[in-house]
Amino acid sequence: MSTGKNIVSCSVCQLALSFPIPYNYRYMKLFSLFTSQYYKPTWIYAVDSHLWRILFSHGDLVAGEHRDNDKKQVTFFCIDSRSGEEKWNIRKAEEGWWTTTEGVYGNKLYLHAFAKPDLPQPKHVTSIDMKNGSVLWDHPDLTFLYVKDDMVVVERKEFEITRYHRLDTETGKILDTIYDRHIIDDELSEARANDPHTLLMFPDVYNPGLQDHELFTRIVSEKQTRERILDPIEVMQFGDNLIVCYHRVKDERSEGSPVLVHELCIHNKANLKEVYSDVLMDNASAPVPDGFFIRENVLYYIRNRNQLVAITLRDTL
């Protein structure tokens, strides 16, 4: 397990991707000398392989995983959502490749593995302390279902019998057994409704026929006069911010699909002036959905597959 607490300028972020690099808001004044963009990244978290999953807690911590397919190596990490500072990371070699994040509940990250590598059936529950990355407990024979009232509900399959248990979140000790499957179904629905993921706001698909999308139509139409843009186009309004995410054609290949550029831009609602833009992926082979999301007043997106970018939005521009 290791930690990273490097705060450097954004220009260095483009060059050094072998370790996490938070970019702090206080450097924004420096970059205003070189660009006219209204917004700058509040921070950038950059890693040396592909970001795979991002999971938010109800607090200020963000967990996730990034994967190196060539080395069959997965790394689990935790960062501070306010600064992008890495709190810890755990890197697992080939034997841990078939382990992934299950979810964040309270101050704990839950991982699960699979019954067999070629059979994607979850099995094996591990609880990680979000504060320091230490393993709290581990159950190889149990399958995670949900968390409710500071208890983890799991299932254990024994031949043709499935048993359900409640575990203590701190120790992993079995507290009791649930025999009624209807209780499991009801509690699972309630747990999903309270999942931190439900607090994230994702974009809508642009529809020129909607009155609510009238301003977006003016933005999209102007861009279409200069370049070919493919559907779907994603849009969201947040205060005075009009956010558009789209794929434009970079190269019309004679064979196969065209080469695409995945871009994001923010416009001022009052005058439609562009106040921020960035390339999420150059040389993309196919459109990628959900190019960005917003939590509270922060816009997040993944750039080049290995950088999580956070931008603090203002309601009024």
pLDDT of residue 293 exceeding 50:
yes
Positive or negative: CA dihedral 178, 184, 188, 190? negative
Instruction: List the domain range (segments joined by +) for residue 70.
Output: 10-199
Positive or negative: CA dihedral 96, 101, 102, 108? positive
Q: What is the pLDDT of residues 245-288, one digit of tens each?
A: 999 999 887 677 899 999 999 999 999 999 999 999 999 989 99
SS (H, E, C) 7-48: CCCHHHHCCCCCCCCCCCHHHHHHHCCCCCCCCCCCEEEECC
Identify whether the C-beta of residue 289 lies closer than 8 Å to the C-beta of residue 232.
yes
Q: What is the pLDDT of residues 134-173, one digit of tens each?
A: 999 999 999 999 999 889 999 998 878 899 999 999 999 9
Q: Is residue 282 part of a domain?
A: yes
Establish how many alpha carbons lie within 13 A of residue 65's alpha carbon, considering only the half-sphere containing its beta carbon.
25
| 112 and 259, same domain (yes or no) | no
Q: What is the pLDDT of residues 206-238, one digit of tens each?
A: 999 999 999 999 999 999 999 999 999 999 999
| 143 and 122, same domain (yes or no) | yes
Q: Which of 137, 164, 199 is the last residue of a domain?
A: 199
| 118 and 30, same domain (yes or no) | yes
176 DSSP β-pair partners: 166
| 140 and 92, same domain (yes or no) | yes
Q: Is residue 1 part of a domain?
A: no
Higher-scoring residue by pLDDT: 65, 26: 65
Q: Residue 11: which pLDDT band, with cuts at 50, 70 and 90?
A: very low
Q: Is residue 253 part of a domain?
A: yes
Q: Is residue 5 part of a domain?
A: no
| 224 and 149, same domain (yes or no) | no
| 140 and 81, same domain (yes or no) | yes
Identify whether the C-beta of residue 88 lies closer than 8 Å to the C-beta of residue 132.
yes
Q: Is residue 4 part of a domain?
A: no
Q: Is residue 43 part of a domain?
A: yes
Q: Which of 171, 199, 227 is the last residue of a domain?
A: 199
| 45 and 59, same domain (yes or no) | yes
Q: What's the confidence (pLDDT) of residue 196?
A: 80
| 260 and 274, same domain (yes or no) | yes
| 105 and 153, same domain (yes or no) | yes
CATH number at residue 183: 2.40.128.630
Number of domains in the chain: 2
Q: Is residue 129 part of a domain?
A: yes
| 134 and 277, same domain (yes or no) | no
| 63 and 150, same domain (yes or no) | yes
| 232 and 191, same domain (yes or no) | no
Q: Which of 177, 199, 221 is the last residue of a domain?
A: 199
C-alpha–C-alpha distance, residues 255 and 257, integer Å: 7
